[in-house]
Amino acid sequence: MKRELKLTYILALLISLVSLSNCTTTREREVEDDLSDFRTWVNRETSQLANRTEEDWKQAKQDFQTRTQELDQKQEQFSDEVQQEYQQLKDEFNKADETYTNSQSAARMSEWERKLLGRWADMATINEANVREAYITFMENVRAQKSNWSDADWEMAKLVLEELDERKNEITADIDTDTEVKIKALQMEFRTIKTAGSVDVF
């Protein structure tokens, strides 16, 4: 009788161990499947950044937040190898986000330079002989376009002026005093109407 009880106990223990092993294997497989799905998603979303619209990328970022929040809750089940790959995939997406944001900012800046500087948007063409004309063009376009500007638009115009100022500083040694005075007047006019325009937005 004792032997039968012992055999029953051993059999139950073996069944329990096998069941536990199967559960562990199932969890590991689920984790691997989750990571594989995330890997595929990251590779797909980051493969063609140049073709993504702003709205499209915004949706991708929201999906990234949702996916990582779900995976973060399972991290205690990750092996060291899985944890390392998961972090690498998150870093890869964040790097792509930074690249996309920078490219969008550069494209937007180029657009504003064309809007406000016209033919002087290529600042390499600006020299001591025409730098005042570049400022005049800038202010003419600011006056013409400012009526519907948001606060963000005013900030973009400010950035364009700062780029123009930077170019002027590169050639400042060759600019005569009269031109400097007239440029300062244009710079002051921009600051004045920007202050008024920003207040009007609110």
d(CA 196, CA 199): 5
d(CA 196, CA 59): 36
pLDDT per residue as tens digits for the range 43-92: 999 988 878 888 999 999 999 999 999 989 888 888 888 889 999 999 99
pLDDT per residue as tens digits for the range 8-50: 656 555 555 455 444 455 666 787 888 889 999 999 999 888 7
DSSP at 101: H
d(CA 163, CA 106): 13
pLDDT per residue as tens digits for the range 159-169: 999 999 999 99
Residue 190 binned pLDDT confidence (cut-offs 50, 70, 90)? very high
Structural contact between residues 118 and 144, judged by C-beta atoms closer than 8 angstroms: no
